[in-house]
Structure 1
Amino acid sequence: MRSLERHRDVGAYALGVLDEAEAFRFEDHLMECPSCAAEVTEFGPTTRQLMLYRRSTPRLVHPLAKPGPRMLDRLMSEVAARRRAGRRRLLFALAASVVLAVSAPAVAIMAGGGDEPVSIAATDERSGVWAEITTEDQAWGSQVELKVKDGAGPRDCHLVVVGRDGSEETVTSWSVRHHDARPNTMMTGSAMHPDEIARYEVRTADGEHLVTLNPS
C-alpha cells in the first residue's frame, strides 16, 4: 500500500470496512502518522452513532451490507468540511444521514430527550488529569460531551462509561500530544441512559486509570 493510499484509508478503517490484512497494515501506519491518528479520532462520534442507531433500529438491510466507496467518499468529504468550519455537532447529523441512506427512513436519531444537559467535572490528584462530562438524555441513550486537560502525554486514552449493573462501554478515544495541556473536546454517545450510568472513567490505552467522574 502506497503512502497516499494509507492516508486515504482513514475513513474505511474507522468504519470497519478494511479487511483484516489491510487493517493490520493501516494500524502500523497509524503508529507513525499523527495526522491519521487525529483523523480516526474525528470519525469516533460518527462510528459511535452508527452503532447506537443499529442497536435501536430493526434491520432493514442484509446484515452483511457495508457502505460502498461512494458513500465513504461522501462521508470523508463531509468530515473535512466540518473540520474547516470548526463545528463540533455536524458528525451527529452526518451519522443519521449515512444510516438512513443505507437502510430506509425510520426514526430520527437525535429525537427524544427532554431533560436539560447535566455537567460534572473532576481532577485526579495523582495523575493531574482534569475532565468534564456534559450529558443529555436521548431516546437512544446519552449524548456525551467530554473535555479533557492532560499534560502528561504523549499517550492514547479512552473514555469508559460504567453502568450501574457493572457493564462497561468504551465510547471514544483520542491521542494526547507531548506536554499539551490544552483542553481537548469530543462529542460522543452512550447506549446507556444517564440514570443507568454509575460513573465515567478516563483511562490510558494500557488500562491505567487517570480520572473518575461520578454523577451526583
Structure 2
Amino acid sequence: MRSLDRHRDAGAYALGVLDATDAFRFEEHLMECPACVAQVSEFGPAVRQLMLYARATPLGVPPLTAPRARLLDRLLAEVALISRARRRRWLCTAAAALVLAVAGPAAAIVAGSGADTAARVTARDGRTGVAATLTTQDRAWGTQVALEVWDAVGPRVCELVAVGKDGTEQRVASWTATGEARTPMTTEAGTALHPDEIDHFEIRTADGGLLVVFGRP
C-alpha cells in the first residue's frame, strides 16, 4: 500500500472498519506519521457520536437502517468545532507555559472553577518539559476528567493518578506518549473520588517517575 493511501485510511482506522491486515499496516504507518495521529485523534468525537447512535437504536431496528440525513453534517460540524477549540486551548496553554517556565520546576494555574462548572488547571514542569491541561467536573459517581498532554519524550507509558486527601491513590488513565509534542495526547476518564476528596493529580511514568503535578500547594 502506498503512503498516500495510508493517509486516506485514518478515518477508516478510527472507525474500526479496516480489516486486520490493513489495520496492522496502518498502525506501522501511524508510528511515523504525526499528521495521521492528529487525524485519528480528531475522529474521536465522531466515533463517540456513532457509538451513542448505536446504543440508542432500538433492538427491533435493523442495524443497517440509514441515519437521518443531517447526522453526517452534525458529526462533521462537531469535529470542526472541537478542532478549533483544541487549537485555541493550545495557544492558551502555550502562553501559560511561557509564564510558568520562569516560576520554577513545577507550577499550575487554575483557569476556572465553580460548584456547577468545570475546573481547569494548566501545569508545566520545567524539569521534565511536560505541559498539560486538566479539566475536572463533579459528578454523582465521582469526578469526570479530561486531559491534554504535550510530551516531547517517547515512546513511554504514562499515567494520571488522583491522590486523595487521606493519601489514597487511584489511577485515572494511562497512555503511551509518542514523543510528538506539537499535537497533544487527549483522553477522558473518571475517578470515584469527588473533587473535595482529592488533594492533587499527578502525571507519572509507568515506573513511578513524576512528570507533572496539578493542584499541589
Query: Which amino acid counterpart does residue 173 of structure 2 have in structure 1?
Result: T
User: How has the CA–CA distance of structure 1 residues 20 and 149 changed in structure 2, closer, same or farther, with 3 Å as cutoff?
Assistant: closer
Specify which structure has the bigger relative contact order, considering alpha-carbon pairs within 8 angstroms and separated by 6 or more residues: 1
TM superposition shift of 1:34: 1.9
Alpha-carbon distance in 2 for matches of 1:187, 1:145: 7
| 2:153–2:177 Cα contact (<8 Å) kept | no
Name stretches of at least 5 consecutive residues in structure 1 with no aligned partner.
90-113
| 1:153–1:176 Cα contact (<8 Å) kept | yes
Alignment of structure 1 residues 1-216 onto 2, 5 Å:
1-44=1-44, 46-47=46-47, 60-61=58-59, 77-78=76-77, 81-82=80-81, 86-88=84-86, 115-124=116-125, 126-137=127-138, 144-150=145-151, 152-153=152-153, 155=155, 160=160, 168-170=171-173, 175-177=178-180, 188-192=187-191, 195=194, 200-202=201-203, 209-213=209-213
Alpha-carbon distance in 2 for matches of 1:67, 1:200: 44
Query: Which amino acid counterpart does residue 170 of structure 1 have in structure 2?
Result: A
User: How has the CA–CA distance of structure 1 residues 126 and 187 changed in structure 2, closer, same or farther, with 3 Å as cutoff?
Assistant: closer
**Paired residue total:** 180
User: How has the CA–CA distance of structure 1 residues 45 and 80 changed in structure 2, closer, same or farther, with 3 Å as cutoff?
Assistant: closer
- CA RMSD, Structure 1 to Structure 2 (Å): 5.0
Determine which structure has more spread, i.e. the larger CA radius of gyration.
2
User: How has the CA–CA distance of structure 1 residues 128 and 31 changed in structure 2, closer, same or farther, with 3 Å as cutoff?
Assistant: closer
**Identical residues among aligned pairs (%):** 39
Alpha-carbon distance in 2 for matches of 1:120, 1:31: 30
Partner in structure 2 of residue 109 of structure 1: none
Alpha-carbon distance in 1 for matches of 2:201, 2:48: 17
Query: Normalized against structure 2, the TM-score is what?
Result: 0.52
Name stretches of at least 5 consecutive residues in structure 2 with no aligned partner.
88-114
> Alignment partner of 1:87: what SS?
helix
Partner in structure 2 of residue 97 of structure 1: none
> Alignment partner of 2:120: what SS?
strand
Partner in structure 2 of residue 108 of structure 1: none
Alpha-carbon distance in 1 for matches of 2:187, 2:212: 17
TM superposition shift of 1:22: 1.7
Query: Normalized against structure 1, the TM-score is what?
Result: 0.52
Alpha-carbon distance in 1 for matches of 2:16, 2:36: 15
Deviations 1:130-177 (A, max 9, x none): 333121235787554435454x44656765455978664537776443
> Alignment partner of 1:116: what SS?
coil
